[in-house]
Amino acid sequence: MGTARTPRDRWVEEGLLVLADGGPDAVRVEALAKRLGVTKGGFYGYFADRGALLEAMLDTWERESTDEVIARVEREGGDPKTKARLAGALTFSGDRLLPIDLAIRDWARRDEAVADRLRRVDNRRMELLRETMSTFCSDPEEIEARSLLAFCAAIGAHFLAADHGGRSRSRVLARAADLLLNPDGPGPGDASDQYGSPEGTG
């Protein structure tokens, strides 16, 4: 009986893990084969070359970051603000999508095709935020501004090194989300830690 081939999805998944850890230059067929404990010959049964693998990795990231996140948000239900918080938490917290997302943002600075892909993903995320803001705000300018601020907070929090006067980063982010997702601003006790809060930061 012949040895079973390493499934295609495992090459893609391993590639995404390496991308998150070392960037696109670290995604090499020989290195992936070694990590998987196989020879690189099986790779070419699924992919024409390294470029095809990188494209498959981007396809997987885009699907998981948009279609699968949106599907889960719709499945779990709730009001628009609850949905926006869940989408943010699924995308910008945890150890799965966030490291890949940040690596792709860095990659997009040097690769126009990746930048186009990132723009498409971010546009879908912004559309979800606009839908949320429009449930309590009718001014298109304010809707866009609130959406932008919410998106910038979710991403920028992972690059900011500032302290918060004894407050945790997750608490400050939750308060910022409450301010942005409520028309009149929340009371002091309304903040929650659901909106993309990087645990243990700040």
Mean pLDDT over residues 95-104, rounded? 92
* Residue-level pLDDT at 80: 85
DSSP 8-state symbol, 76: H
Indicate the average pLDDT of the chain.
87
Counting residues of the chain whose pLDDT is more than 90, the rounded percentage is 69
Q: Are 27 and 15 in contact (CB under 8 A)?
A: yes
Q: Are 130 and 116 in contact (CB under 8 A)?
A: no
Q: Identify the band that residue 4 occupies on the pLDDT scale cut at 50, 70 and 90.
A: low
DSSP 8-state symbol, 169: H
Instruction: Report whether pLDDT(184) > 80.
Output: no
Choice between 48 and 200, residue whose per-residue pLDDT is larger: 48
Instruction: Report whether pLDDT(131) > 60.
Output: yes
Instruction: Report whether pLDDT(195) > 50.
Output: no
Cα 78 to Cα 68, 85, 163: the distances in Å are 17, 10, 33
Instruction: Report whether pLDDT(143) > 50.
Output: yes
Q: Identify the band that residue 191 occupies on the pLDDT scale cut at 50, 70 and 90.
A: very low
Instruction: Tell me whether residue 124 is exposed, middle or buried, using C-beta atoms within 10 angstroms of its C-beta: 0 to 12, 13 to 18, 19 or more.
Output: middle
* Residue-level pLDDT at 150: 93
Which of 100, 97, 96, 72 is CA-nearest to residue 85? 72
Q: Are 103 and 19 in contact (CB under 8 A)?
A: yes
Instruction: Tell me whether residue 199 is exposed, middle or buried, using C-beta atoms within 10 angstroms of its C-beta: 0 to 12, 13 to 18, 19 or more.
Output: exposed
CA distance 120 to 101: 13
* Residue-level pLDDT at 198: 41
Tell me which of 3-7, 73-77, 82-86, 192-196 is least confident. 192-196
The beta-carbon contacts of 26-34 under 8 Å, at least 24 apart in sequence, are 27/53, 27/54, 27/57, 29/53
Extract the tokens encoding 34.
């070694």
Domain boundaries defined on the chain? 58-181
Tell me which of 48-52, 59-63, 76-80 is least confident. 76-80
Instruction: Report whether pLDDT(104) > 50.
Output: yes
* Topology of the domain comprising 58-181: Tetracycline Repressor; domain 2 (1.10.357)
Instruction: Report whether pLDDT(153) > 60.
Output: yes
Chain segment 59-74, per-residue pLDDT in tens: 999 999 999 999 999 9
SS3 content of the chain, % helix, strand, coil (to 5): 65, 0, 35
Choice between 152 and 193, residue whose per-residue pLDDT is larger: 152
Q: Are 91 and 129 in contact (CB under 8 A)?
A: no
C-alpha torsion sign, points 134, 139, 143, 144: positive
